[in-house]
Structure 1
Amino acid sequence: MTEKRIKKLLIKTKRQVFSEIPGNNPSLFKGEGFDFVELREYQPGDDVKKIDWLITAKLQKPFVKLYREERELNVVVAVMLNGSMFFGTKRFKQEVAAEVASLLGFAAIKNQDNFSYLLFADKEYGSIRPTKNMQAVWQMAKQIVRFQPLGKVANFAALSARLFKIRRKSIIFIISDFLEPFDLKVLAKKHEVVAIVVRDRFEEKPESIGFMHLIDPETKKSMMVDFEGLTIKNYVKEIKKLDHKMYTHFKKSGIRFTKIYTDEEPFIKLLKLFGQR
């Protein structure tokens, strides 16, 4: 990706956040309240995740914990840049991830929240301490698009362990294609986790293209594959099984999520995720 395209991407995302979202909008990143205030009896419409089950069991009535939400949030953008992110029929997933991360970064800074990022694959490749400096977003985007993901595997266990070490409760956005095994359950108990799934439609609904020489983007091993009938059918079946497991994990862990394809507009999908449109 050329410097000109990187600059164009950053100008676009900055304009969308600062011009198309009216005013300071703290509800864009609506995190859990961090300071405990009191217990009160459950009322219709309360979030069931805030029920204190121990008190409920003792008093035989449902009670919820009330919190005072901090004005200043801690927003962390974590991008998984393993080999499979170097793919796309419309745009590379890696480029879409850079756009999504930039939108989140600019939104955090516009809301005067603390912003930090973490670039990961088999290990950590880049990060910055919490800041409100807009240059951090530019730095992050450039690092993402210039990164060489080929030959790198996704290590979600190491990423989760690294993010778990963040002391202050944070809103953590994890951007990945989530095609590799992962477990965010423990991390989601400490922090509020939001998953942004970046995919190309061809990955989920491939066309019949006959014999093709493929290279595994993580191991760099090459192979000849007959991408026809039964092969495609079995592949699609496995992808659906993988996604069902992924969605189930997100829902059980209380993780908000959205899927953004390489031919979609990330800004619109993020607004929908946060209930802005």
Structure 2
Amino acid sequence: MTLAAKKIVLKTRKQVFGEMLGNNASLFQGEGFEFAELREYIYGDDVRKIDWKITAKMRKPYVKIYHEERELNVVVSTMMGGSTWFGTVRPKYEYMAELVALLGFSAVKNSDLFSHIIYADHLYRYSKPSKKIFSVTKELEEALDFDPLGKASDFAGWADTLFRRVKKKSLLFLISDFVGEVDLRLLSRKHDVFAIIVRDRFEENPQSLGYLRLVDPESGESFEGEVGSSTMQAYKAALRANDHRLYRHFRKNGIRHVKLFTDEEPFAKLIKRMR
């Protein structure tokens, strides 16, 4: 195991299994998510389960009831295209590997099945579901060892492969920088999808760089010239348009999501968003 992998394992295991975080430090509950029925609210019910649309129509509070399941099928899939090689504080692919470890250890802590899928221009890895800590460590190493350079991010192929290959209804975590055309409609109907957007702050707020030579980490094509304020403004506008489409797509299809930056600790933010 490399030094980088050891550091991430020690850090994430402490966060997930640490006693300071209480008896339920896992990112998600072991309760199933298979919808059963609606019923009128009873004092003591979890207010987070209130269906506000039905409540507004009936003018009485109604809650969603779910079938209890003994275990969840937790699938974490990372889109490791060439753009994930970038990072000013740390590479995005390394940050994504840490997220794989956090989610994997949380699944194991809950005695849930965990599997990991690496995708870029095609499928590179699909691990077997497991409840063993060793499997999480193994997938962390696979993510860190993966070389994203020269690989395009094929979002259409990613969604299609996950739809076909992940048979059982799952809690599906999709980790990517999500720059490009994304269509997760079919996946969101079959699985409970949670999208994690990983970005570098310089990516979203770049400064004028002057005259330089740039290389596209996905295609390998190079550009040499002046990168001034007007170029940066056009880039920012394009990225904002990309994110506007992305968030609208998530809201329309009921996909929960969170954006994480490579210079911030992911665990606390994930806990808050998952709850």
Q: Aligned to 1:135, what secondary structure does the other structure show?
A: helix
Residue range with higher mean Cα deviation, 61-70 or 138-147 = 61-70
Find the counterpart in structure 2 of residue 47 from structure 1: 51
Structure 1 residue 154: Cα displacement: 1.2
Find the counterpart in structure 1 of residue 153 from structure 2: 154
Amino acid at match of 2:194: V
Find the counterpart in structure 2 of residue 11 from structure 1: 10
Find the counterpart in structure 1 of residue 186 from structure 2: 186
Find the counterpart in structure 2 of residue 131 from structure 1: 130
**Superposition map of 1:1-277 within 5 A:** 3-19=2-18, 20-24=20-24, 28-29=28-29, 33-34=33-34, 36=36, 38-40=37-39, 46-47=50-51, 66-165=65-164, 166-275=166-275
Amino acid at match of 2:188: A
Structure 1 residue 111: Cα displacement: 0.7
Number of equivalenced pairs: 265
The 3 A distance-change label for structure 1 pair 31 and 125 is farther
The 3 A distance-change label for structure 1 pair 252 and 30 is farther
Amino acid at match of 2:262: T
Q: Aligned to 1:180, what secondary structure does the other structure show?
A: coil
Distance (whole Å) between structure 2 residues aligned to residue 243 and residue 124 of structure 1: 25
Distance (whole Å) between structure 1 residues aligned to residue 247 and residue 75 of structure 2: 22
Residue range with higher mean Cα deviation, 81-90 or 136-145 = 136-145
- CA deviation string 1:54-102 (max 9, x = no partner): xx9xx9x998763313131110000000000000000000110000110
Distance (whole Å) between structure 2 residues aligned to residue 87 and residue 28 of structure 1: 30
Is the CA contact 1:35–1:69 (under 8 Å) kept in the aligned structure 2?
no
Residue range with higher mean Cα deviation, 78-87 or 258-267 = 258-267
Q: RMSD of aligned C-alpha atoms?
A: 2.5
- CA deviation string 1:164-184 (max 9, x = no partner): 232221100000000121111
Residue range with higher mean Cα deviation, 223-232 or 6-15 = 223-232
Amino acid at match of 1:74: N
Q: Aligned to 1:174, what secondary structure does the other structure show?
A: strand
Is the CA contact 1:151–1:220 (under 8 Å) kept in the aligned structure 2?
yes
Distance (whole Å) between structure 2 residues aligned to residue 24 and residue 79 of structure 1: 26
Is the CA contact 2:171–2:192 (under 8 Å) kept in the aligned structure 1?
yes
Distance (whole Å) between structure 1 residues aligned to residue 31 and residue 124 of structure 2: 27
Structure 1 residue 249: Cα displacement: 0.9
Is the CA contact 1:31–1:171 (under 8 Å) kept in the aligned structure 2?
no
Structure 1 residue 6: Cα displacement: 1.3
5+ residue gaps, structure 2, are none
Residue range with higher mean Cα deviation, 66-75 or 11-20 = 66-75
The 3 A distance-change label for structure 1 pair 24 and 268 is closer
Distance (whole Å) between structure 2 residues aligned to residue 228 and residue 160 of structure 1: 36
Question: Normalization by structure 2: what TM-score?
Answer: 0.88
The 3 A distance-change label for structure 1 pair 252 and 125 is same
Distance (whole Å) between structure 2 residues aligned to residue 102 and residue 184 of structure 1: 24
- CA deviation string 1:139-198 (max 9, x = no partner): 111111111111111122222122223222110000000012111111001100000100
Is the CA contact 1:85–1:92 (under 8 Å) kept in the aligned structure 2?
yes
Is the CA contact 2:27–2:106 (under 8 Å) kept in the aligned structure 1?
no
- CA deviation string 1:235-260 (max 9, x = no partner): 11111111111111111111111111
- CA deviation string 1:252-277 (max 9, x = no partner): 111111111111111122112123xx
Is the CA contact 1:32–1:192 (under 8 Å) kept in the aligned structure 2?
no
The 3 A distance-change label for structure 1 pair 30 and 195 is farther
